[in-house]
């Protein structure tokens, strides 16, 4: 058990990828390190345990990635998804640093594998962890333990007590009992607040009761709140979160990757009244899955139903829950507790509006559209007419929140008055809003966490040892 009476060089609040990269780097630089993770050991690792890859720049093919993915293309992708809500200096620095991570990660025990089945579109840009994010987290914890990082599980950081822009002491709750510990420098890597439903309710009202939190239930945002209450500059829209369409039967927390559903582009999607509400075929799914979370959040009771026939069923990855299945659309509607007459009418209207068009091609925008509907379906529109019929209920699934603390390129936290904190650093989701103000790029969260985790660890160790 770590000695809580001593003053550590570096205290890391959090236990996911960014926290571990900071802790390992600080320890490698000679600092004494205490890592404080609020989850029990079995659920350690924050949202990182549900991740699977990291987006990395590279000028030529390497052992893990194909072809090339250069700085400007990476930057363009980021600019596109954020709509400009990013900091070019920090973003480009992160992108450049991402090309040099593999050696360090491999030394820390992380293993890679070729891009997973069904994700071939990511094989060029994203390096996949062998066994996924929990395997990566396991490797980092093993390395951290070997190096002598001291680790407390079941321990929530409740307050960072600041004075003149520096953290003087840290309040924690170890298995529910309050204590105060001391460190020369602190790295805040404790993620967002999406698992704090009361906080979410401030912006979303009672709709949060119908939200699914895809990741860890331990991201309560206590550290984030503590910092923002003490004059740390915030970044990112507090009301915004990354929300995707999920199978509605997902558990409230920690359902991870298996609850996602890729059926929308090949389906007719209706709300609880049996009405369509958005163009299901607007773009390829990787570019649209994130707006569907918001779309469903705006529907009555935050629920929608994806309906397809047996032609479409083999085209997407299975969700973990079995599809509702019936020989007629009406029967399917009854099984999903929808008004069968209304759903039949919607599907009939849709089928009639499908224009006889080009050859169906699920690999590209094929231009098969409807005509005369509101809204239209602009791609992959095919009559839903071949029994059996399949249905999935959908709900908004929250991945992370965008609100965070402002940092500079040394991962130092910036105060409201513009000054940099003397001994407080941040890495990971808690500061990713500096770079990713909106939208998402697959695997970019892990890139930000790794790059800034290492910078924060390095800088905190340097500061503490001087």
Partner 1 sequence: MQETDAIINARREMEVCNACRYCEGFCAVFPAVELRREFSAGDLSYLANLCHGCRGCYYACQYSPPHEWGINVPAALAEVRAESYAEYAWPKPMAVVFERNGTVVSLMAAFGIALVLLLCSLGSSNFWVAHGNTPESFYKVIPLWAMQIVGTATFGFSLFALAMGARNFWRDAGPQEKIGPTAVAIALWDVLTLKNLGGGGNGCNDNSEAFSMRRRYLHHAMFYGFMLCFAATTTGFIYHSFLGWPAPYPFISAPVILGTVGGILMVIGTIGLMAMKFVDDPIPNVRRLLGGDVALLMLLAMIAVTGLVLLAVRATGAMGLAMAIHLGFILAFFLVLPYSKMVHGVYRSAALLRRAIERNMKPLGGE
Residues making contact with partner 1 (CB under 8 A): 42-43, 49-50, 52, 111, 113-114, 116-121, 128-135, 138-139, 141-142, 251, 254, 256-259, 262, 314, 316-320, 322, 362-363
Q: Is 420 exposed, middle or buried (0-12, 13-18, 19+ CB in 10 A)?
A: middle
271 by DSSP, 3-state: which?
A: strand
Tell me the C-alpha distance between 309 and 331, whole Å.
13
Tell me the C-alpha distance between 186 and 353, whole Å.
60
Distances (CA, A) of 131 to 74, 120, 135, 378: 26, 17, 5, 37
CB-wise, 355 or 386, nearer to partner 1?
386
CA nearest neighbour of 112 among 123, 97, 96: 123
Q: Report yes or no: 428 and 19 within 8 Å, Cβ to Cβ.
A: yes
The two tokens of residue 22 are 């900071």
CA nearest neighbour of 392 among 269, 252, 291, 212: 269
Shortest reach from residue 442's CB to partner 1, in Å = 14
CB-wise, 141 or 400, nearer to partner 1?
141
Shortest reach from residue 41's CB to partner 1, in Å = 10
The two tokens of residue 299 are 């529907």
Shortest reach from residue 131's CB to partner 1, in Å = 3
CB-wise, 37 or 87, nearer to partner 1?
37
Phi-psi region of 354 (alpha: psi -120 to 50; beta: other; left: phi over 0): beta
Shortest reach from residue 320's CB to partner 1, in Å = 4
Shortest reach from residue 221's CB to partner 1, in Å = 22
DSSP letters, 391-417, are EEEEEEEEEEE--EE-B-TT-EEEBTT
What angle (nearest 5°) sits at the alpha carbon of residue 325, between those of residues 323 and 329? Answer: 125
Shortest reach from residue 260's CB to partner 1, in Å = 8
Tell me the C-alpha distance between 152 and 49, whole Å.
18
CB-wise, 121 or 202, nearer to partner 1?
121
308 by DSSP, 3-state: which?
A: strand
CB-wise, 110 or 333, nearer to partner 1?
110
Shortest reach from residue 466's CB to partner 1, in Å = 35
Shortest reach from residue 107's CB to partner 1, in Å = 14
CB-wise, 100 or 251, nearer to partner 1?
251
Tell me the C-alpha distance between 260 and 52, whole Å.
14
CB-wise, 61 or 322, nearer to partner 1?
322
Shortest reach from residue 268's CB to partner 1, in Å = 20
What angle (nearest 5°) sits at the alpha carbon of residue 157, between those of residues 155 and 160? Answer: 155
CB-wise, 252 or 337, nearer to partner 1?
252
CB-wise, 46 or 428, nearer to partner 1?
46
Q: Report yes or no: 381 and 368 within 8 Å, Cβ to Cβ.
A: yes
């Amino acid at each position: 058990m770590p000695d809580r009476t001593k003053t550590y060089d570096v205290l890391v609040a959090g236990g996911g990828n960014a926290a571990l990269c900071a802790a390992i780097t600080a320890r490698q630089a000679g600092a004494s390190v205490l890592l404080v993770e609020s989850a029990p050991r079995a659920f350690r690792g924050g949202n990182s345990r549900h991740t699977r890859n990291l987006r990395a720049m590279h000028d030529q093919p390497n052992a893990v990635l194909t072809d090339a993915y250069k700085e400007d293309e990476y930057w363009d992708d980021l600019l596109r998804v954020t709509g400009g809500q990013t900091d070019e200096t920090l973003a480009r620095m992160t992108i450049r640093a991402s090309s040099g991570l593999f050696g360090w990660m491999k030394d820390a025990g992380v293993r890679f594998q070729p891009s997973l089945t069904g994700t071939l579109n990511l094989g060029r840009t994203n390096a996949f962890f062998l066994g996924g994010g929990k395997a990566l987290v396991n490797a980092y914890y093993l390395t951290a333990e070997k190096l002598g990082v001291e680790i407390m599980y079941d321990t929530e950081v409740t307050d960072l007590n600041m004075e003149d822009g520096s953290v003087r002491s840290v309040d924690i709750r170890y298995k529910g009992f309050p204590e105060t510990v001391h460190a020369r420098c602190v790295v805040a890597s404790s993620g967002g607040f999406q698992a704090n439903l009361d906080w979410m309710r401030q912006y979303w009202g009672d709709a949060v009761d119908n939200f699914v939190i895809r990741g860890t239930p331990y991201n309560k945002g206590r550290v984030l709140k503590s910092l923002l209450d003490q004059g740390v500059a915030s970044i990112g829209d507090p009301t915004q979160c990354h929300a995707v369409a999920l199978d509605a039967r997902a558990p409230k927390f920690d359902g991870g990757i298996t609850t996602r559903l890729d059926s929308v582009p090949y389906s007719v999607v209706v709300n609880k009244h049996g009405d369509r509400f958005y163009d299901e075929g607007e773009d390829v799914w990787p570019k649209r899955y994130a707006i569907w979370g918001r779309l469903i959040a705006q529907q009555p009771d935050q629920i929608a139903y994806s309906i397809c026939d047996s032609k479409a069923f083999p085209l997407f990855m299975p969700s973990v829950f079995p599809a509702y299945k019936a020989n007629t659309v009406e029967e399917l509607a009854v099984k999903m507790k929808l008004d069968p007459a209304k759903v039949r009418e919607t599907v009939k209207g849709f089928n009639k509006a499908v224009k006889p068009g080009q050859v169906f091609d699920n690999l590209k925008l094929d231009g098969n559209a409807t005509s005369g509907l509101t809204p239209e379906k602009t791609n992959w529109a095919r009559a839903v007419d071949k029994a059996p019929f399949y249905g999935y209920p959908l709900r908004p699934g929250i991945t992370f929140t965008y609100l965070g603390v402002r940092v500079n390129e040394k991962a130092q936290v910036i105060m409201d008055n513009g000054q940099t904190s003397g001994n407080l650093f941040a890495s990971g989701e808690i500061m990713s809003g500096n770079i990713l103000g909106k939208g998402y790029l697959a695997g970019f969260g892990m890139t930000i966490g790794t790059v800034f985790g290492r910078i924060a660890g390095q800088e905190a160790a340097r500061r503490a040892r001087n």
